[in-house]
Structure 1
C-alpha cells in the first residue's frame, strides 16, 4: 500500500520555492524541514551555517558513518547547538551522552539491562495497564479528545517515571516541566525564563528524590543508580544522578510521545494508512513513521581533526550537525522517500542513531509506540483530527505535536456470549 504525500500541516504551497537556509531554531524550518533537507542532500551535503558556525550532514551514508566514528566526531562537548548545553561542561547536563567510548559505555551500562529487549517484553503488560488508565477515562469523557497531550505523551512519561520510582501523584508535574525544557522563541538558541524555571523545578525535585531514595531504596532505577559502583570502586554523586534522571526522563517521554502523535497525524492524513493501522498493522505504521517523520531530527558533535567531505574543508573544533531525519529520506537508500509507504522495508532507517550512541531506550520506545497504538485501535474505529487547533512543538531537536485534538468514532462493543 503506497499513498502520495499531501496536505502536510503548514507545508509551503506547491508553487512556492522554499528558502534554502537551514537554521534549526527557526519556526519556519521546524514547520516542514524536509524540502530544505532535500535541497541540502543534492546541493550542499556538507552544509555550512556561518551565522551559527556549524556544518551539517544530510545524506544517509555521511550521517551513518559519522555517528559510528566518535574518534572524528566526538560527543565531548555535548549533542546540542544551544550555548547553555554545549562545551566542556556538557557532561553536567546530559551525562554519558557527553562522553565517548570507553567512558560512555561504562556509565550507560549501569542501566542498560533494564532496556534490553528481554526486559522490555517483561514490562509490556504493565505498559498496557498504564495505557488503559489514560485511555479509558479519556474516551469516556466524550468523542473529542486531545490524542497528543492526554494520551500519546502521557503514557511514555508514566512508564519512565514509574521505572525511576517517581510517586504517581507527581507524574504529570514531571511531564509539564519536561515539555518546557525544549521550548525556544523563534530563531533563539537561548533558554527563556519559563524554561529556566522549569529546569530549576525539575532539578530541585530530582535532588529531593535522590535524597529520599538514598534513605529508602526500592526496586527502581534511581535506587540502582544510588547504589551502583563505577570504575575504580566509586559511586555516582548526587549531581551525576540528577543529570542521569534529566536524561532518562527527557529521552523516555519526549521522542516517544511525539512519534506516536506523528503516526496518528499521518494516519489521519492518509486514510489507507489509518485503516491498515487501526486494523492491526501497528509495527508497519510505527516503523514507516519513524523513517518518514521521526520525532528526533538532529544531533551535534565536535569535529576533532581537519576533514574534507564532498570537497568542503571542515576544520577541527567546529560543530557538526547530523540529520538522521534527512538521511531517512535519502533516495540513495529508500525508493520514493517522500512517499509514506506502509509496505516499505524500513530496516535501514537510523531514527535511533547508529554506533556507540545508538538510543539506549530504542527497544522500550518501539514497544511503547506499538502498545499505545494497539490499545487505541481496540477502542477507535476511525478518527478525524481538528487540524486548525493542532499545535506543533517548538524545538530544534524534536518534531511532533503538543496538541492534537481529534474526534473519534468508537468501535461497537461486541456482545459477550458464553
Structure 2
C-alpha cells in the first residue's frame, strides 16, 4: 500500500525475482511427462495433455507479465462500466511495468468473511446472485472472464462487488460461447442428442466416435442423473467429471481451453457452497441465458438455424442425386456391389447357425444308426459281441454324437436363462 504524490491511495504489486526461471524448469519437466504420457497411453487422455501444459505456461506468462494484468484491469473496468454493482481496481498504466503493477487500493470485506458482510448490512444472497449473473455475462456474453474467482479475489466495498487480481483471465470465442449455452440448455431439457452435438463441437473436427449410438446411450445416463434433479442439487464439478470420463471412454479429446472454464466454474461453485449456500449458480446462469435472448434475437437465431439447415439439406439432396447417378451408371454395367450389415443381427444368425449344426449332426446320427442296423442284419464279418465290427463302431459314434447334441442343447439353454 502506498500513496502517490498526487494523493491517490494505491496498491503496488511487485514480482518476486527468479519466479519465471523456476517455473520454466517445472514446465519443461511437465512437457516431457505429457509427451511421454501421450505416446505410452494415448487412449487414456480426457483432455489434450500437451495443450494443458502449454495453457498452464501461457497462463503463468500472463500472470508474471504485470503489463498484461494492467491491461486486463483496464479492459475489465470498461466491462464493469454499465454495472453499478461491479467494479475492479483502476490501473495506473504509466507507472506499470513487466514486474510492477500499480492500481487503486480497495478497502473492502472479502467474501470469505460472510459474518462481517452481514454485520455491515449486506444481503449475502443478493451479492451471490449478482456475482454469478455478472460472471455469466463475462463468460457467455463478453467472452472475457475472471478465471480465478476464489473468495480472496472478491471484495465488497461501498456497495459494489470488486474483483481483484486479474492476472489469470479466460477468453472464449463466439463459437465456444454458443456451444456452452446450447449444452446448458441441453442438460436442462434432457436432450441427449443436443448434448452430444455440443460435446463433439467442443472436441473439434477430428471428433468422430466409432459408436454414436453408445455415445448417446452414455449421455442419456448423464442427462437422467443431472438433468432431472433440482438445479439446487446439481453439482457442477460432478457433472463435468462425468462428462469428461464419458468423453474418455469414447476417445473424444477435449481442447485444453475447456479446463479454464471448468476450473473457474468449480472454483466459483465451491466458494458459493462454502460462504453463500443459498445461491444456485446453475439456475442463475440458465436464467441469464434465457433473459439475454429477446424475441427478436430468438427470431434471428431461428432464421439463421433454418437457413443453415436448409443450406445443408439442399447440398445433401444434390449430393445424393450425384451419388445415385454414379450408382445407376455402375448398375447398368453390372459393376454395382452392395455391402450391407444388419445391426443387431448377430444373435439371430448365431442361433440359426446352432440350429443348422444340430440338425446336421442329428441327420448324421440317424444315418449311422440306420447304416449300422443294416450291417447288423446283414451279418458282415468280423463280429464282436455278436455284432459286426463296422456296425458296432457306427453305433458307438452315433451314441457319442447323440450325447453331445443333448449336452449342447442343455448347457446353452442354461446360459441364456442366466442372461
Give the TM-score normalised by the residue count of structure 1.
0.26
**Structure showing greater Rg:** 2
TM-score, scaled to structure 2: 0.26
Structure with bigger RCO (C-alpha 8 Å, 6+ apart):
1
Q: Which has the larger helix fraction?
A: 2
